[in-house]
Structure 1
């Protein structure tokens, strides 16, 4: 059995955490997959995967080899793709991680145009308001609202900056009045996003002045779309990124509050695993999304 096939089998077992599922993906038999893993372990002289009747898990040696073998296989696939690019349309499946709000408002429209350009490519959207580990979850890239990544193996490419705004429905402001200063928020109902950093501390700046307001939400939620719906029905004032509020602001369903004060701005990045060769599917989508944002002038609208 050649070494290349052994690595392919090992990587697939590590990803699937099951020899049976790995065999199905590879169109092989479970016994054949098991035999190739055993050959690899015998040749290296180490146990790579712990087997039990209930589950498989990587050993420390297996974890180290998995990362290197995965990148090696990806580099080889990329080299083949680059050679054939001139005569073949790009194919394969792209896995993209993003929040529910970004997926609904911007990712799905972008994917529609992307697939019109590359119809033989499939896109899998993995939506979550918590940040998935990109490598562990097999993502090709993810859209993140943070300046840096804790994992040094992750590369980021900035695509936009966005303000965080306070907004409320006209009905709410008519009933409760319009705040004139950040301290006025203490007498208002707030709808807060529980997954934000320091979600119950709002730091406002205006010129040389700064005000920090410790707030407690009348409603606390973990999804931007739920928060906007609550605001539209007049339940309080929200603090959300402009890209989430823009459509409601444009339609007059929500109105800006304390717009002359700034909350800390957010940087929107594309994050992807660092490799000498970034897979073709990833490079194509990153370039497409950057151009889509530039063409639509999103940053100019979101920072106004």
Structure 2
């Protein structure tokens, strides 16, 4: 079964209202030839003439007069549906699916979402937390937060802020085991490992002059979530490479100290990524703007 030719019916309704092909074409922003073809197409489909045409006059036939009211309702219904859709698209509403790393999401995303939801009472957020990199397109996610040096991909990425990482340890550990002076010294230290580093079996450091050193860490604990390393760090069981968004308060309080301050892991950043394609729904745009505003201004991002 073929669908009705809604475009032709809408054009016919406008021509019948205007009483002229030229005036209808001007109202619709179409060429006169396009309007004439749409009317002819509709006439061919219903098997009856809708207008009697002369060089100076356009008049509805009996079939045209009978169809005019129905065509006007079709046009009005279409205009109403489009106006409602445009108005709905302009107001943030509906579900946004957001993926974020586990520790970062718990510490810095989930606590801010109540503010966003209060600002946008018609929006719902489905927050998915995992330290594994999720497939945004395959998983049906609208937005992802990623902390990495992003490779090229089809995803659209917006850099929000740098993420500083530091080698840290508790004062008690440094008092008992000594303070390493160079990354090579780490072979004699207890290193607590994070499984989702780009190269978890090798730590890489770079100094201000650009020199690079890599070491193979060894220790009693390795975890696939960086939060799981914090108790062991505070207890003085080893050193770990941790992002500032997790340890900035421990550093301020003195529970942890930076080690090898002249050396740093390769730079990474917090990115907001979205699947390709436009336009974005208003609900997605609203959450993106909110996350960019609050996360880029976080204390750990400024420091």
TM-score (norm 1): 0.68
| Alpha-carbon spacing, 1:235–1:297, altered in 2? closer, same or farther (3 Å) | closer
Tell me which residue corresponds to 1:170: 171
Three-state SS of the structure 2 residue aligned to 1:145 is: strand
Deviations 1:111-170 (A, max 9, x none): 121112112211111011101111111111110123335641x11111011121111112
Partner of 1:143: 145
Structure 1 residues 196 and 79 mapped into 2: Cα distance closer, same or farther (>3 Å)? Answer: farther
| Aligned counterparts of 1:78 and 1:293: Cα–Cα separation in 2 | 36
Q: Which residue of 2 aligns with 1:258?
A: 260
Q: Mark the CA change 1:228 to 1:141 in structure 2 (over 3 Å): closer, same or farther.
A: same
Q: 1:282 aligns with which of 281, 284, 291?
A: 284
Say if 2:102 is the partner of 1:127: no
2: CA distance, partners of 1:146 / 1:233: 28
**In structure 2, C-alpha distance between the alignment counterparts of 1:146 and 1:291, rounded to whole Å:** 20
SS in 2 for 1:211: strand
Aligned equivalents of 1:161, 1:298: Cα separation in 2: 10
Corresponding position of 1:31: none
Verify the 8 A CA contact 1:206 1:260 in the aligned structure 2: yes
Conserved 8 A contact 2:89-2:281: no
Determine if the alignment matches structure 1 residue 191 to structure 2 residue 195.
no
Q: From the CA coordinates, give the structure whose radius of gyration is larger.
A: 2
The 1:273/1:265 distance shift into structure 2, 3 A limit, reads same
Q: 1:2 and 1:240, CA in 2 relative to 1: closer, same or farther beyond 3 A? A: farther
* Contact 1:96/1:125 (8 A) holds in 2: yes
Cα pair distance change 1:80/1:288, threshold 3 Å: farther
Q: State the SS of the aligned residue for 1:159.
A: strand
Name the structure 2 match of 1:221.
223
Instruction: Find the residue that maps to 2:232 and give its secondary structure.
Output: helix
- List gaps (5 residues or longer) in structure 2: 4-80
- 1:83 is matched with which residue: 82, 87, 110? 87
Root mean square deviation of aligned Cα = 2.4
User: Offset of 1:78 from its aligned partner?
Assistant: 12
CA distance in 2, matches of 1:296, 1:2: 57
After superposition, the Cα gap between the structure-2 partners of 1:111 and 1:264, relative to the gap in structure 1 and judged at 3 Å, is: same
Residue 237 of structure 1 pairs with residue 262 of structure 2: no
Matched, 1:201 2:205: no
Q: Is the Cα contact below 8 Å between 1:163 and 1:264 reproduced in 2?
A: no
1:114 to 116, 139, 156: 116
CA distance in 1, matches of 2:194, 2:204: 15
Match of 2:297 among 280, 295, 298: 295
Q: 1:109 to 1:78 in 2, by over 3 A?
A: farther
CA-CA distance at 1:215 after TM superposition: 2.1
Deviation at 1:217? 3.4
Q: Report Cα offsets for 1:170-196 as digits up to 9, x if no partner.
A: 221121111121111111100011111
Q: Distance in 2 between matches of 1:217 and 1:292?
A: 36
Equivalent residues of 1:82, 1:280 under 8 A apart = no
Q: Which runs of 5+ in 1 are unaligned?
A: 4-76
